[in-house]
Structure 1
Amino acid sequence: MTETPTLAEPLDVMIRLLSFEGKQNPYPLYEELRAHGDLVRLGETHLLAVGHEQISKALRHPVLLQTDAAMQDLRMPGWREHSSWVWLTRNMLFSNEPDHERMRRFFSSAFSAHSVAAFAPMVERLADDAVRHVGELGAGGAEVDLVEEFTYRLPIAVLGELLAIPEADLPGLHPIIAAITTSMDPVGDLAQLAPGDAAMEELAAYVTDLVATRRAAPGPDLTSAFIRALDGSDLTEQDLIANIMAVIVAGSEAPQDLLGNAVRIAVGDADLARRLTGEPRFVDRYLEEVLRWDPPVHALNRVASEDLEFFGEKVVRGSAVTLLVAAGNRDPKRFADPHRFDPDREGNQKQLTFSAGAHYCLGAALARLTAETAIPLLLRRLPGLKVVGSPGFRDQIVQRGHDRLPVTTG
């Protein structure tokens, strides 16, 4: 008689998922959770969503709200003593209506598809500089950390030009941005927010000075444009600073991780590298599959603002609903053979990585433009590029990406 496998308890799976080892390869653990269903209960006030349909619906649900200040009061007593979350709840990413709409309306035109298309020559120039930099560092067989020297360097250079951040300041922002992203991961003790708190204060001071500098000497950059538009708008100075901070963090970290994953996958497969350098139409499909198969964002959080029933589950006010978007991207009900990397699959653009609904990622078009410009150029110029060893991932699960990506250039 065949024994029925025993399902691991969801809480045990989550403990393993949040360990350093679990974060290195969370996908088998997502499947252990999926074995319990598309919605998995962790307790009376916490649900995990792993199904594509459930996550897609939650992202658009009017009762499942972002973790703004009011929602944090329900879920995280004591959070107001921590600068990381005080500043996060001041930006559009962690706001609900009416604050979200007024802030997004103010910033959206700068990152619309039309505006981003006009950035293409600048992105091409900076991508060329970044690829040349990697080639110079790797001359003679030297090992290069692609994270520091390319996947971070290029997105932050793009933001630097857009926002008028001095080039000399860009490397120093990297550890600040990295520390801030740790604040978005689950914590067992609010003291774990200390590194993010310190980094957020440092970034707030930096952006405050940047705004003051551009106000005194405005230019053609977006920071100056935002300052000019502030008069007569319904935004405050604090709103402006908080959202420029959000643009710097989100606009560098997610593209960095997308670039890292896209390079790692491509250099391990000669056919993919050949198609990426020789078939321009293939590049978009490839990047959509990277976003589906190994995304830079693995989890998003929502909080119930009132009692509701969600796909048969009773959700009480104040309950957390964690949306494991990386698991939803591999839902076999939505994608056939979901664990296979297949850029030619139909419908891979239905991935959930850039969110959906009102909170669809404002920087998605810019992230795609940067990656679709840089990846073919890197592979074409450095055809001997190889990943050295087995690169690891940061000790994070919400925003997941490589801490180092050592390569040789051939």
Structure 2
Amino acid sequence: MDPADALALLLSPQGRVNPYPTYERLRGYGPVVQAGPAFHLVTGYAEADAILRDARFGVMDDDLRDQFLPGWRESPAVASISRSMLRTNPPDHSRMRRLAAGAFTPRRIAAMRDVVEAQADELVDGMVARTRAGEPVDFMAEFAYPLPVAVICALLGVPAADRPLFRRWATDLTGVLEPEISPDELALADRGAMELRDYFTDLVAARRRAPADDLTTALVQAHDGDGDRLSGDELLANLVVLLVAGFETTTNLLGNGLVVLLDHPAEAATLRERPEFAPGYVEELLRYDSPVQLTSRMSTAPTRYGGVDLPAGSWLIVLLGAANRDPGRYPEPGRFDPWRPAVHPLSFGAGPHYCLGAGLARLEAQVAFPLLLRRLPGPALAGPGERRVRLTLRGYATLPVTVGDEASPVTDRGTPAGATGSTP
């Protein structure tokens, strides 16, 4: 199988659902693999990390979109994503990112722990109440989606009653992040983009009438105070991206991670007893089954990586999921090992486009997994679950689980009734 055949397999439904065997086939050709004219795939950890940090590589800008995606301006989904910080280069990217960065400082994220814990506990209460008769619940619908969407909506100032709207809209819109998209999928993405844009147009108007202490108000004021800091299109596009990116990645991390933990009961038991180990577990979960599998870059100058010459204008698909399992960086990469030293997954990227909400996603997962294991002493998969047929954003559409014996009553936010000692 040559690299072009491996790429075709990777983009097939089978390859998207389980890309890891194909990554290993591609790795056999080297850390940087040419798969077409001026088109390369990056599987090596060191190469992926360096390329994402190299100023000679950028995301596809308007001129390149005109070349590769004629008519992209006619697509509300592509046009919306393209006006956001996700798909812009410096100096526009730096300008937009600075405006939103204040909401994601380590201090502000740490201050949200109580909110995340309370929301997670409430969701577990709901799962227990619905499964007292032993019937399974869909973990994605009952926990993995509502937890991160509640947190990012609180940051943005989105009313709680509106949160259920976003899952379908975001699922449809994120189709444009895939390497390939069918006309039908693009039509769904365009519909999702228009619905999200309409929603945030109304929210922006509401914040102009009644400012609040939230990120939406801050971005509205940045636009209204000086239009050169944030245009109207940029305002709406970044609100959409902040919402979607704020829960899509975490939702997938929670679903993927729960399956891994249930497949490794000894490691899960340790985390149940020692929740202070959660940060190391979350880093290994991110490495082992990344919720984001790829990103792309274009070279603006001739470079050389992995022994391969990359002319200016080369298009690179950086396979984050493959890089996270590079045996040159992580021995026995196909083994889940929460005690693995020096784990630095590329799941949130690196360099200027490093995920703005990475710290928040980590906090939510560090809270959620020990809490789930403690409150649900016998969780188990009630079926294989349904994987989304996506490559860029890897996760489950549905994940049926049973919760086991009735959860331990909670006397405070950290210690089950009857437990001895203190929770670290």
TM-score of Structure 1 vs Structure 2, range by shorter chain = over 0.9
Instruction: Pick the aligned partner of 1:321 from 316, 330, 337.
Output: 316
Instruction: Pick the aligned partner of 2:23 from 27, 30, 34.
Output: 30
Deviation at 1:312, TM superposition (A): 3.4
Quick check: 1:355 aligned with 2:349? yes
Deviation at 1:376, TM superposition (A): 1.1
Instruction: Pick the aligned partner of 1:162 from 155, 158, 173.
Output: 155
| Identity %, equivalent residues | 41
Instruction: Pick the aligned partner of 1:277 from 272, 280, 292.
Output: 272
CA RMSD after TM alignment: 1.5
315 and 192 in structure 1: CA distance in 2 versus 1, 3 angstrom threshold: farther
Q: 1:369 aligns to what?
A: 363
Q: 2:413 aligns to what?
A: none
Deviation at 1:192, TM superposition (A): 4.2
Deviation at 1:163, TM superposition (A): 1.6
Q: 1:339 aligns to what?
A: 334
178 and 121 in structure 1: CA distance in 2 versus 1, 3 angstrom threshold: same
Contact 2:120 / 2:368 at 8 angstroms: preserved in 1? yes
Unaligned runs of 5+ in 2: 405-424
DSSP-derived class of the 2:177 partner: coil
Quick check: 1:171 aligned with 2:164? yes
Instruction: Pick the aligned partner of 1:205 from 195, 198, 206.
Output: 198
Contact 1:145 / 1:404 at 8 angstroms: preserved in 2? yes
Deviation at 1:191, TM superposition (A): 6.0
Quick check: 1:187 aligned with 2:164? no
Q: 2:53 aligns to what?
A: 60
Deviations 1:177-223 (A, max 9, x none): 01111111122655642211111111111111111112212222222
Alpha-carbon separation, structure 2, partners of 1:182 and 1:260: 19
Q: Which amino acid aligns with 1:161?
A: A
Instruction: Pick the aligned partner of 1:137 from 113, 130, 141.
Output: 130
Q: Which amino acid aligns with 2:131?
A: G
Q: Which amino acid aligns with 1:289?
A: E
Alpha-carbon separation, structure 1, partners of 2:392 and 2:181: 15
Contact 2:290 / 2:321 at 8 angstroms: preserved in 1? yes
Contact 1:75 / 1:318 at 8 angstroms: preserved in 2? no
Q: 2:419 aligns to what?
A: none
DSSP-derived class of the 1:41 partner: strand
Q: 2:221 aligns to what?
A: 228
DSSP-derived class of the 1:341 partner: coil
Deviations 1:9-52 (A, max 9, x none): 11111111111111221111100000111111111120000001
Contact 2:103 / 2:155 at 8 angstroms: preserved in 1? no
Please show how residues 109-124 of structure 1 align to structure 2 within 5 Å: 109-124=102-117
Unaligned runs of 5+ in 1: 1-7
Contact 2:61 / 2:89 at 8 angstroms: preserved in 1? yes
After superposing the two structures, state which structure 1 stretch, 187-196 or 106-115, moved more: 187-196
After superposing the two structures, state which structure 1 stretch, 179-188 or 218-227, moved more: 218-227
Contact 1:46 / 1:321 at 8 angstroms: preserved in 2? yes
Q: 2:241 aligns to what?
A: 246
Q: What TM-score do you get using the length of structure 1 for normalisation?
A: 0.94
After superposing the two structures, state which structure 1 stretch, 232-241 or 393-402, moved more: 232-241
Aligned residues: 402
Please show how residues 85-124 of structure 1 align to structure 2 within 5 Å: 85-124=78-117
DSSP-derived class of the 1:323 partner: strand
Q: What TM-score do you get using the length of structure 2 for normalisation?
A: 0.91
Q: Which amino acid aligns with 2:328?
A: K
Quick check: 1:259 aligned with 2:220? no
Quick check: 1:290 aligned with 2:285? yes
